[in-house]
Amino acid sequence: MNKSEKVELLGVELECKLSDAETNNQYCVLQATIPPGVMVPPHRHPDQEAFLVLEGAPEFAVESPAGLDWCFAVPGEMINVPPMKLHGFRNPTTSDVRVIITCTPNLGRFFADAGLPFDRESPYRHKVPSAQQIQRVMEISSRYGHTYPDTEPGTCKRGPGRFAVEKLLTHPAQSSINRVYLF
């Protein structure tokens, strides 16, 4: 993807902030906007990926010895996903979630190939992806080594209220925690 290029990928809006061409083909940085109700199902891929939560209350799923653990994340929190580690994310809230994604150039190319370009706001923002759109993305993702297990997505084990209180108690000066976490 080129710098400032925007694509929509099954509900997630991605904007390139730093292309692989600008990093000597070492990594890419994208800003993702995840509208309310959008979910990226649990999946694996051969690429390293890291998320920095900017705003909102996303749930991230990361593989653990006990299975798939879904936990809320708060602004300022980093989620690191090693290659081939099962992971996913979703926005169960009523407002947008914004994250910064740092990933390999290969994953950046996947986003460019599978995403649909747009200018200001994605025309797909308020629509459920069609079966054809999903099939197209699945075919492209398989070429990049992505796999999707047949397991159910699961439930969140760390609620936003308790987690926010813990964050406030351990980091009282952190002003980016907003009221959405205290419900």
Read off the CATH number of the domain in which 98 is found: 2.60.120.10
- Whole-number pLDDT of residue 44: 94
CB 20 within 8 A of CB 108: yes
Is residue 112 included in any domain, yes or no? Answer: yes
- Whole-number pLDDT of residue 142: 95
Structural domain including 111 reads 6-182
Residue 99, SS3 per DSSP: strand
The domain total for the chain is 1
- Whole-number pLDDT of residue 128: 79
Is residue 154 included in any domain, yes or no? Answer: yes
- Whole-number pLDDT of residue 84: 94
Is residue 116 included in any domain, yes or no? Answer: yes
Is residue 61 included in any domain, yes or no? Answer: yes
What's the CA gap between 164 and 24, in Å, rounded?
39
Neighbours of 113 (CB within 10 A): 15
Between CA 117 and CA 124, with CA 120 as vertex, the angle to 5 degrees is 60
Residue 66, token pair as written in the block: 């006990």
- Whole-number pLDDT of residue 129: 81
Is residue 84 included in any domain, yes or no? Answer: yes
- Give the rounded distance of the alpha carbon of 64 from its chain centre: 18
Neighbours of 9 (CB within 10 A): 24
Which residue ranges of the chain lie beneath pLDDT 50? 160-183
Is residue 1 included in any domain, yes or no? Answer: no
- Whole-number pLDDT of residue 150: 75
What's the CA gap between 177 and 99, in Å, rounded?
14
- Whole-number pLDDT of residue 28: 96
Alpha-helix runs per DSSP H in 34-179:
105-114, 131-143, 160-170
Is residue 175 included in any domain, yes or no? Answer: yes
Between CA 156 and CA 163, with CA 161 as vertex, the angle to 5 degrees is 70
H/E stretch holding 80 reads strand 78-81
Summarize pLDDT for 83-114 with one digit per residue, the tens. 999 999 999 999 999 999 999 999 999 999 99
Tell me the β-bridge partners of 6.
Answer: 15
Tell me the β-bridge partners of 72.
Answer: 59
- Whole-number pLDDT of residue 63: 80
Is residue 86 included in any domain, yes or no? Answer: yes
